Homo-oligomer: A and B are copies of this chain.
Amino acid sequence: MKVQRVEMFVMPMDTPDDTTGLQKLADKGLIKPDSLVALCGKTDGSGFHDDWGRVLADSALRGWTAKFLNIPFDQVAKRVIFVLSGGCPGVITPHIVAVTRSWEEAPAAAAGGARHLVVGIAGSEPIAPEEVGRMGMIRKVAAGVRAAMADAGVTDPKDVHLVLVKVPGLTVGSIKDAESRGKTVVTHDPTFGVMGAGCYGNDGAALGVALALGEVPEAKLSDDVVRKNWDLYSSVAMTSSGGEKRHGEVLLFANSANSRSRLRIGHSATKDYIDAEGVRNALRSAGLEFKELPSEKDLSRLVHVFGKSVTPGSDIIRGQKITLLDDHNCYQIGKAVGGMLVASVTGRTMNYLSGGERNSHQGPPGGNVMAAIVRDPD
Interface residues of A (CB under 8 A from B): 12, 14-17, 44-46, 48-53, 55-56, 59-60, 88-94, 171-172, 187-191, 193-196, 273-274, 276, 291-293, 315, 317-318, 320-329, 332-334, 336-341, 343-345, 347-350
Partner pick for A274 among B292, B326, B349, CB 8 A cutoff: B349
Q: CA A246 – CA B325 in complex, angstroms?
A: 21
Minimum-distance CB pairs A-B, first 8: A195-B195, A292-B292, A52-B53, A337-B340, A276-B344, A189-B194, A340-B340, A56-B56
Contacts of A16 in B (CB 8 A): 52, 55
Q: CA A273 – CA B273 in complex, angstroms?
A: 20
Partner pick for A341 among B60, B334, B338, B344, CB 8 A cutoff: B344
Partner pick for A348 among B46, B93, B318, B329, CB 8 A cutoff: B318
Knowing A17-B55, A320-B348 touch, does A91 contact B274 (C-beta < 8 A)? yes
Nearest CB on B from A339, distance (A): 7
Nearest CB on B from A66, distance (A): 14
- Classify the secondary structure of A's interface with B: loop
Whether the Cβ atoms of A59 and B326 lie closer than 8 Å is no
Contacts of A320 in B (CB 8 A): 12, 93, 348-350
Nearest CB on B from A280, distance (A): 9
Q: CA A45 – CA B56 in complex, angstroms?
A: 12
Knowing A14-B321, A293-B292, A344-B341 touch, does A336 contact B195 (C-beta < 8 A)? no
Whether the Cβ atoms of B191 and A349 lie closer than 8 Å is no
Q: CA A48 – CA B318 in complex, angstroms?
A: 27
Q: CA A128 – CA B273 in complex, angstroms?
A: 31
State how many copies of this chain the complex holds: 4
Q: CA A255 – CA B69 in complex, angstroms?
A: 52
Contacts of A51 in B (CB 8 A): 52
Contacts of A89 in B (CB 8 A): 323-324, 327, 329, 333
Whether the Cβ atoms of B88 and A322 lie closer than 8 Å is yes
Whether the Cβ atoms of A90 and B337 lie closer than 8 Å is yes
Partner pick for A195 among B17, B189, B337, CB 8 A cutoff: B189
Whether the Cβ atoms of B328 and A172 lie closer than 8 Å is no
Q: CA A348 – CA B334 in complex, angstroms?
A: 17
Whether the Cβ atoms of B195 and A187 lie closer than 8 Å is yes
Contacts of A90 in B (CB 8 A): 322, 324, 333-334, 336-337
Contacts of A94 in B (CB 8 A): 321, 323
Contacts of A190 in B (CB 8 A): 194, 325-326
Contacts of A332 in B (CB 8 A): 329, 333
A-B contact list, 8 entries, CB within 8 Å: A17-B59, A44-B50, A52-B56, A89-B327, A194-B195, A274-B343, A292-B292, A336-B337
Q: CA A323 – CA B92 in complex, angstroms?
A: 8
Whether the Cβ atoms of B44 and A172 lie closer than 8 Å is no
Whether the Cβ atoms of A323 and B88 lie closer than 8 Å is yes
Contacts of A329 in B (CB 8 A): 89, 329, 332-333
Nearest CB on B from A204, distance (A): 17
Nearest CB on B from A166, distance (A): 18
Contacts of A189 in B (CB 8 A): 189, 193-195
Contacts of A88 in B (CB 8 A): 322-323
Knowing A92-B322, A340-B337, A349-B322 touch, does A46 contact B44 (C-beta < 8 A)? no
Contacts of A348 in B (CB 8 A): 318, 320
